[in-house]
Chain A
Amino acid sequence: MDKYNDLKQIASKLRISIIEMLQEAKSGHPGGSLSACEILTALYFKEMRVDPNNPQWPDRDRFVLSKGHGAPVLYAALAEKGFFPKEELMSLRKIDSMLQGHPDMKDTPGVDMTTGSLGQGLAAANGMALAGKLDNKDYRVYALIGDGEAQEGIIWEAAMCAAHYKLDNLTVFLDHNGLQIDGFNRDVMNIEPIDEKFKAFGWHVINIDGHSFEEIFAALEEAKKTKGKPTMIIAKTVKGKGVSFMENQVGWHGKAPSQEEAKKALDEIGGVVND
């Protein structure tokens, strides 16, 4: 039996939640949420030290969704983990909901940082990691940035800073699905060679397949063993992963599925869950 079967099931459940909540919300970002399902599953269901009953636990590991528009995958993971009831997911983006269009730490149990304006989450993650070092705490800080997000200037300010302060308690995933709102990264504003850029900024860089649990966990182990520098895990992913008609389609960056499209998507993902 596949050693990651349980986690794969969870990743599929997150995908189902994403489709369901976006269809209900009638807006939101499916592409970049679906591409990060394995990363979030690996973090919240194996790697991170968190307690859904004590979201503010000072010694918990932190996660910052710097690409805040990926909120649906974070909400799906937090609900699945038990930070709040899954029924709440259906209130996404609606008035008075605790689930804002982009993550809000004041409203949502388990959200460690308010994000949505690209690039700022990485700087906040730096601050969390610095605080951990200052207090001699052993918690780790994780962040997820997008590939288009790497075009923001603050990313490079923060990258320089994390290396300067030797933040080896900071591990960042770059969800490298190759697409941003206006098209392919390479056409809008080329970010390559992105791994070499982070290496040059003093980071330990690991390239992986972002949908392979084996590679994700190997990279996380390597990150923990890496001393004196932060780790950037460049995760090659497929935007819209798991829903054939959304995969690699820039049109699905920020568009909710219709009822019919959602049904088709859920049938595809459900097939995986029932395997």
Chain B
Amino acid sequence: MTKMIATRDAYGEALKELGGINEDIVVLDADLSGSTKTAVFQKEYPHRFFNVGIAEQNLIGTAAGLATAGKIPFASTFAVFATGRAYEIIRNSVAYPKLNVKIAATHAGLTVGEDGATHQALEDISLMRSLPNMVVLCPADAVETKKCIYKAAEYKGPVYIRLGRSKVPVILDESYEFEIGKGVQLKEGNDISLVATGVMVAKALEAAKILEEEGISVRVINISTIKPIDKDIIIKAAKETKAIVTVEEHSIIGGLGSTVAEVLSENCPTIMERIGTMDTFGESGDAEELLEKYGLGVENIVNKAKKLLSKKMD
């Protein structure tokens, strides 16, 4: 039975471990420490934890100031508030001066579920990846999340880390190696490539299994660094398979799909399909039901992949 762990939970654990290793790690939150799991760090290292209250602009600005004095601040809140409410502070006080601030935002995407559209960030990757100096990470599961957090702490400069609320399958084992800027091929295949990010990687693997049963050879690639994007792995997939499908729990505008399309059209034009939210807001509901309704279910990935392949054959 596959273990189910939310990436936010892995984040809290990683922070707790890192806190013991590196004295410079400080954590800030805006009244959501129970939900973002920064409270796990707070419990161990209360003097290095700062709750700024419901004030996301000051959350990021204060983190920037701490970074100027040599601290490694992790600032957390929900993705919609971190990247939306505090966008311009991230731009001018973090990205522009290239300060060593880590923005670890949870509750990204539709899988926020019942809280509905106001709390479901579907454009955060788009906002963050257009900022110069910003690294954008979107780990697939609990194992990768921990490794991402460690690497983000080592890296000197601004990093945005996109995390989720819902429990998701643990698909990677501890031997998995994460490197900023490197995509990872999780499954070999030569008919079509599924290029996925975040919690959709597990769905892509499931879809691949079904497609294989139907005789289609599927490559699955995990892109956990959206920026800087691993061009090589994408170009290689385009050359070695017939078509590319991107899968993300994010708008098809400005996210992984756009990034891959940019890489392909400049280097190796390839027929592709972007699976994500189709220029729409979300709504309240059960996380899995929402994924189905908005076209992010396994069945839709399978159908889209088959349709794309048949288009290619025409």
Contacts and interface: CB of A to CB of B under 8 A. Distances in A.
A132 interface: yes
Given A112-B68, A127-B65, A120 B52 contact: no
A113 B69 contact: no
A147 interface: no
Given A104-B97, A134-B48, A158 B26 contact: no
Interface in A223-271: none
Interface of chain A, helix or strand or loop or mixed? helix
A4 interface: no
A64 B64 CA distance: 12
Contact of A114 (B48, B69, B96): B96
B58 A117 contact: no
Contact of A126 (B26, B47, B62, B70): B62
A58 to B, nearest CB: 7
Interface stretch (B85-93, B117-125, B228-236): B85-93
A135 B26 CA distance: 12
Contacts of A157: 52-53, 55, 57-58
Contacts of B55: 154, 157, 160-161
Contacts of A123: 57-58, 60-62, 64-65, 89, 93
Contacts of B61: 119-120, 122-124, 126-127, 154, 158
Q: Which of B57, B58, B60, B93 counts the most chain A CB atoms within 10 A?
A: B58
A199 interface: no
A153 B61 CA distance: 13
A229 B252 CA distance: 48
Given A105-B97, A114-B97, A117-B88, A128 B50 contact: no
Given A131-B71, A134-B71, A154-B89, A113 B65 contact: yes
Interface in A145-165: 153-154, 157-158, 160-161, 164-165
Given A123-B65, A124-B68, 15 more contacts: A58-B69, A58-B70, A114-B93, A117-B92, A119-B57, A120-B61, A120-B92, A126-B58, A126-B62, A130-B50, A154-B61, A157-B52, A157-B53, A157-B58, A165-B50
9 contacts: A120-B57, A123-B64, A126-B62, A128-B65, A130-B62, A132-B69, A158-B61, A161-B53, A161-B58
Closest CB pairs A-B (n = 8):
A127-B65, A123-B61, A131-B69, A157-B58, A157-B55, A124-B65, A114-B97, A127-B66
